[in-house]
């Protein structure tokens, strides 16, 4: 062979081989992609379902799905779950990639982000397959945008103040009446716990950086926080009062000193300051009462948010920890509707889901299963049922951009906590940044 | 015969390159896509719209972006020299011919593998929490320490500490480099009465300078791209009060939490330019301090 010819001959061969190798590499990597096939080998139609939560919720969910599959032999549900924060990020990427789960858990503050961009199925025309007659208008409104419905509450909840009765008894501090207590009484109570324990236990963990808490406070001051049109509807004076309240509570020793509570500690009851017995009370979503009570030794009392009978109007509302939404691009909308209808309107899954997802949105089912619930779930269920019979402000999905408020509020709250800004300045900052977040 | 062997060797070479080709295929596409997206308004869920330079203009008055740049630069400028110094120090200690070197090397390398894991978050809380070990220790002296993770004045320093703690990767490379320095240089220097410090400055540092340079470039690039540690410790928020809002963490928030992938893409390109700039400066400066033996 002529040595001069060799390089060019080799080069072509090399290039061809490179191409083949690259192709093989692409093929191999291709195998690892995606979340598995859509149709099973056994001919059953496979639905995908994604949600957030922990292993306990996973167990209950799987039991409910087993019951669904037993009743519908032609269907199979592939489910996956994660912790709430990674779930939120992953869902955005999945939907963007055109790989949305057929049925997905949707955050109350993100529903409009997805719905307004056309990624969710409007459920309103499908009431023949998805029976919504058992839901109160207030419950349906939680997933409603105009006359369209983009989500069904997976359960109903609200926020409540839990007090560790074991600690308050130990230090001899009486727990105020939870239906009528004021913010002032709350402060006095919490400061008394701190004092009686000699600083070993602080009266409360006051999460001023949680939007849902501020929202209730704003309503008590006569504001909507979010208007039905989706604007920010809260006065500067209200937000300033919120930050001022926290500063006063800290000055009285009712809540721990700056830096004691790590905002980013995570939401697991077992890791909470309440479970560590370093605080005696805090606000929780009521559907988590069982989890918190187990983690705290079983003597938690559930109270309403302070100030409900003292403000311009009621602040608490009936909300949902998560909505169920169906992907607009679902290849099996009929089957997914069937699954959603099953979860919403059957007693068995409702009973299983009620354990961690809140009170079933279908009031008939809720009343039917109430006597069978565990004591803690029975308590949170009764707590909610009582509130449902009262006239409360309506609750509706947060506007587009609202999920950005979480980090804004966290950041400004920290500035107030470490007295790097005054409540008055913080209020103005929050309004300016929140308005910008909602409009851009 | 020889041609056959040569081809076999070629094949082996390509086989080893296979993962790289696979990687390139999945990098070039997104790379070009992000360049396009950088000039669009793209919310992930609806098709991108051309926006020209709007994203780059918006960067000028984005306070959070400026904060993230400040955090990332502070972190890089403090943690990179610090961790390289520690890595070199430990490598030199181990190079003294300790018994059971392989075990020590593994132990010191271990944190590099753990740096971004959830277990570390728990450990960090346990150590640096308001009621953590550090403050328990300070309490013996009657000092009430701050919440090292929850106080915006200190949160970044615990992350710098975490970075320094994961010095294993540069250390292993330093160790290999130290092994390459012929012992006769030290013997000759010792005979001439050179102190250990003098030996370090005149033999170790110059002969090790290519390795230091390599580690410096690698660490700088990695440091500018820091994400995982900030993400896990602050639960993705960059808090407290944006004090650990790394550039990449903010980019991630913009793209995946705030549905602003166009802006996130333009941020990615800005970061590329920053890193390329620093690397170029490094290579230019290297002419004056990196010494190649051959």
Range of the domain at B178: 63-289
Contact A45, A335 (CB under 8 A): yes
Q: Which of A205, A407, A417 to mutate to test the interface with B (most CBs of B within 10 A)?
A: A407
Domain membership flag for residue A296: yes
- Asked whether residue B213 carries a pLDDT value surpassing 80, the answer given is yes
Q: Which residue of B has its CA nearest to A113?
A: B259
Please indicate whether residue B5 or residue B247 has the higher confidence score (pLDDT).
Answer: B247
Classify B223 in phi/psi space as left (phi over 0), alpha (psi -120 to 50) or beta.
alpha
* B223/A345 Cα distance (integer angstroms): 53
Domain membership flag for residue B42: no
Q: Which two tokens stand for residue A361?
A: 């949105």
Domain membership flag for residue A15: no
Q: What is the pLDDT of residue A28?
A: 39
> What's the Cα-to-Cα distance from A433 to each of A94, A168, A404, A413, A439, rounded to whole Å?
29, 40, 10, 13, 10
B130, B236, B242: residue with CB nearest A411: B242
SS3 A60: helix
Instruction: Verify whether the Cβ–Cβ distance B21 to A25 is below 8 Å.
Output: yes
Q: What is the pLDDT of residue A271?
A: 86
Whether residue A83 is found in the same domain as residue A199:
no
Domain membership flag for residue B54: no
SS3 A373: coil
Q: What is the pLDDT of residue A266?
A: 67
Number of domains forming the structure of chain A:
2
pLDDT tens, residue by residue, B47-61:
999 999 999 999 999
Whether residue A90 is found in the same domain as residue A101:
yes
Whether residue A107 is found in the same domain as residue A217:
no
Whether residue A308 is found in the same domain as residue A408:
yes
Domain membership flag for residue A12: no
Q: Contacts by A289-296 with C-beta closer than 8 Å and gap 24+? A: A289/A160, A289/A162, A289/A376, A289/A377, A289/A379, A289/A380, A290/A355, A290/A356, A290/A374, A290/A376, A290/A377, A290/A380, A291/A56, A291/A356, A292/A162, A293/A162, A293/A376, A294/A269, A294/A376, A295/A269, A295/A270, A296/A162, A296/A164, A296/A269
State the CATH number of the domain containing residue A144: 3.40.190.10
Whether residue A110 is found in the same domain as residue A166:
no
Domain membership flag for residue A182: yes
Upper half-sphere CA count for residue A264 (Cβ side, 13 Å): 32
Q: What is the pLDDT of residue A432?
A: 95
Write out the residues of chain A at the interface with chain B, using a CB-CB cutoff of 8 A.
1, 14, 17-18, 21-22, 24-26, 28-29, 85, 88-89, 92-93, 95-96, 113-114, 117-119, 256, 258-266, 278, 403-404, 407, 410-411, 414-415, 418, 420
Angle, in degrees to the nearest 10, between helices A211-220 and A405-417: 80
Domain membership flag for residue B41: no
Contact of B71 with chain A, judged by CB distance below 8 Å, is answered with no
H/E element, A49: strand A45-52
Q: What is the pLDDT of residue B50?
A: 96
Question: So what's the ipTM on this one?
Answer: 0.84
Domain membership flag for residue B51: no
Please indicate whether residue A38 or residue B278 has the higher confidence score (pLDDT).
Answer: B278
Contact B122, A268 (CB under 8 A): no
Contact B65, B267 (CB under 8 A): yes
* B55/B39 Cα distance (integer angstroms): 7
Domain membership flag for residue B25: no
Determine the distance in angstroms separating the CA of A286 from the nearest CA of chain B, rounded to an integer. Answer: 23
Whether residue A259 is found in the same domain as residue A372:
no
> Which residues in chain A show pLDDT less than 50?
1-38
Number of domains forming the structure of chain B:
1
Whether residue A275 is found in the same domain as residue A402:
yes
Domain membership flag for residue A32: no
Residue A4: phi and psi, rounded to 5, are -70, -30
Task: Tally A–B CB contacts below 8 A.
Answer: 117
Q: What is the pLDDT of residue B116?
A: 65
DSSP string, A290-315: HHHHHHTTS-EEEEPPTTTTTSSS--
* B66/B139 Cα distance (integer angstroms): 37
* CA B279 from centroid of its chain's CA atoms: 13
Domain membership flag for residue A24: no
Chain A residues whose CB is inside 8 A of the B238 CB are 407
Q: What is the DSSP letter of A359?
A: B
Whether residue A416 is found in the same domain as residue A267:
yes
Chain A residues whose CB is inside 8 A of the B125 CB are 262, 265
B22, B151, B257: residue with CB nearest A25: B22
* A22/B86 Cα distance (integer angstroms): 41
SS3 B235: coil
Nearest to A111 by CA among A319, A350, A263, A409: A319
| Beta strands A75-82; A45-52: pairing state | parallel
- What global pTM score does this model have? 0.86
A24, A92, A261: residue with CB nearest B150: A261
* B26/B36 Cα distance (integer angstroms): 16
DSSP string, B111-144: HHHHTTSHHHHHHHHHHHSTTSHHHHHHHTTT--
Range of the domain at A187: 159-318+398-439
Q: What is the pLDDT of residue B223?
A: 94
Q: What is the pLDDT of residue A54?
A: 86
Contact of B177 with chain A, judged by CB distance below 8 Å, is answered with no
Q: Which two tokens stand for residue B105?
A: 């090397």
Domain membership flag for residue B151: yes
Whether residue A410 is found in the same domain as residue A379:
no
Q: Which residue of A has its CA nearest to B243?
A: A411
Domain membership flag for residue B75: yes
Q: Which residue of B has its CA nearest to A436?
A: B62
SS3 A423: helix
State the CATH number of the domain containing residue B235: 1.10.3720.10
In the structure, what pLDDT confidence band is assigned to residue B20 with cuts at 50, 70 and 90? confident
pLDDT tens, residue by residue, A302-352:
999 999 999 999 999 999 999 999 999 999 999 999 999 999 999 999 888
Instruction: Verify whether the Cβ–Cβ distance B151 to A403 is below 8 Å.
Output: no
SS3 A54: coil
Bridge partners for B41 per DSSP: B49
Q: What is the pLDDT of residue B21?
A: 82
In the structure, what pLDDT confidence band is assigned to residue B294 with cuts at 50, 70 and 90? low
Whether residue A212 is found in the same domain as residue A313:
yes
Whether residue A337 is found in the same domain as residue A419:
no
Instruction: Verify whether the Cβ–Cβ distance B46 to A118 is below 8 Å.
Output: yes
pLDDT tens, residue by residue, B92-130:
998 887 788 888 888 888 888 876 677 777 788 889 999
Place of tokens 């070993």: A200
SS3 A145: strand
* B173/B218 Cα distance (integer angstroms): 11
H/E element, B158: helix B155-165
* A102/A73 Cα distance (integer angstroms): 18
Cβ neighbourhood burial of A148 (10 Å; 0-12, 13-18, 19+): middle
Contact A145, A112 (CB under 8 A): yes
H/E element, B156: helix B155-165
Q: What is the pLDDT of residue B236?
A: 85
Per this entry, what is the length of chain B?
294
Place of tokens 């110059």: B206
Domain membership flag for residue B178: yes
Q: What is the DSSP letter of B27?
A: H
């Amino acid at each position: 062979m002529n040595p001069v010819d060799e390089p060019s001959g080799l080069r072509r061969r090399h290039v061809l081989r490179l191409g083949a190798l690259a192709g093989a590499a692409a093929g191999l990597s291709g195998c690892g992609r995606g979340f598995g096939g859509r149709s099973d080998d056994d001919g059953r139609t496979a639905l995908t379902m994604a949600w957030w939560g922990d292993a306990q919720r996973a167990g209950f969910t799987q039991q409910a799905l087993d019951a669904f599959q037993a009743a519908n032999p032609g269907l199979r549900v592939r489910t996956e779950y994660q912790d709430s924060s990674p779930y939120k990020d992953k869902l955005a990427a999945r939907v963007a990639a055109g790989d949305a789960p057929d049925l997905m858990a949707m955050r109350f503050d993100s529903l409009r982000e997805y719905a307004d961009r056309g990624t969710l199925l409007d459920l309103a025309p499908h009431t023949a397959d998805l029976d919504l007659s058992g839901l109160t208008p207030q419950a349906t409104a939680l997933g409603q945008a105009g006359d369209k419905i983009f989500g069904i509450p997976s359960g109903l909840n609200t926020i409540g103040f839990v007090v560790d009765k074991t600690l308050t008894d130990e230090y001899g501090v009486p727990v105020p009446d939870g239906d009528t207590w004021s913010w002032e009484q709350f402060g006095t109570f919490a400061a008394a716990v701190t004092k009686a324990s000699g600083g070993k236990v602080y009266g409360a963990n006051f999460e001023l950086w949680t939007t849902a808490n501020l929202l209730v406070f704003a309503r008590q001051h006569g504001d909507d926080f979010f208007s039905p049109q989706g604007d920010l509807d809260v006065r500067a004076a209200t937000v300033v009062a919120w930050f001022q309240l926290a500063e006063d509570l800290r000055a009285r020793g009712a809540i721990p000193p700056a830096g004691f509570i790590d905002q980013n500690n995570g939401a697991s009851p077992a890791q909470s300051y309440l479970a560590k017995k370093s605080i005696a009370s805090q606000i929780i979503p009521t559907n988590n009462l069982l989890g918190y009570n187990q983690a705290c030794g079983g003597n938690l009392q559930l109270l309403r948010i302070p100030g409900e009978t003292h403000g311009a109007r009621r602040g608490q509302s009936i909300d949902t920890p998560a909505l169920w939404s169906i992907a607009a691009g679902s290849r099996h909308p009929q089957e997914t509707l069937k699954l959603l209808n099953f979860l919403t309107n059957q007693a068995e899954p409702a009973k299983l889901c009620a354990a961690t997802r809140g009170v079933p949105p279908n009031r008939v089912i809720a009343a039917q299963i109430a006597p069978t619930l565990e004591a803690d779930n029975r308590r949170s269920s009764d707590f909610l049922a009582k509130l449902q019979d009262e006239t409360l402000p309506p609750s509706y999905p947060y506007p587009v951009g609202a999920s950005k408020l979480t980090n804004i509020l966290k950041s400004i709250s920290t500035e107030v906590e470490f007295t790097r800004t005054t409540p008055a300045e913080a209020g103005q900052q929050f309004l300016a940044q929140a308005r910008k977040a909602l409009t851009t | 015969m020889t041609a056959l062997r040569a081809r076999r060797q070629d094949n082996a070479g390509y086989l080893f390159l296979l993962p790289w080709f696979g990687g390139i295929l999945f990098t070039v596409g997104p790379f070009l896509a992000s360049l396009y997206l950088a000039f669009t308004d793209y919310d992930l869920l609806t098709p991108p719209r051309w926006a020209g330079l709007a994203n780059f203009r918006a960067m000028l008055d984005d306070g959070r972006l400026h904060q993230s740049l400040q955090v990332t630069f502070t972190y890089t400028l403090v943690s990179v020299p610090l961790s390289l110094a520690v890595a070199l120090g430990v490598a030199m200690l181990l190079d003294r011919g300790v018994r059971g070197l392989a075990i020590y090397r593994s132990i010191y390398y271990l944190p590099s593998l753990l740096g971004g894991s959830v277990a570390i978050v728990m450990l960090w809380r346990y150590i640096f929490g308001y009621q953590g070990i550090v403050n328990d220790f300070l309490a013996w002296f009657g000092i009430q320490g701050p919440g090292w993770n929850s106080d915006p004045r200190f949160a970044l320093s615990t992350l710098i500490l975490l970075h320094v703690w994961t010095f294993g990767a540069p250390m292993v490379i330093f160790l290999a480099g130290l092994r390459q320095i012929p012992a006769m240089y030290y013997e000759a220097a010792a005979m001439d009465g050179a102190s250990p410090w003098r030996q370090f400055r005149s033999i170790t540092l110059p002969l090790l300078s290519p390795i230091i340079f390599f580690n410096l470039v690698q660490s700088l690039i990695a440091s500018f791209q820091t994400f995982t540690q900030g993400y896990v410790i602050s639960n993705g928020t960059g808090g407290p009060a944006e004090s650990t809002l790394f550039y990449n963490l903010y980019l991630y928030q913009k793209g995946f939490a705030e549905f602003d992938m166009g802006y996130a893409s333009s941020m990615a390109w800005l970061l590329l330019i920053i890193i390329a700039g620093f690397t170029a400066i490094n290579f230019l400066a290297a002419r004056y301090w990196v010494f190649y033996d051959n």
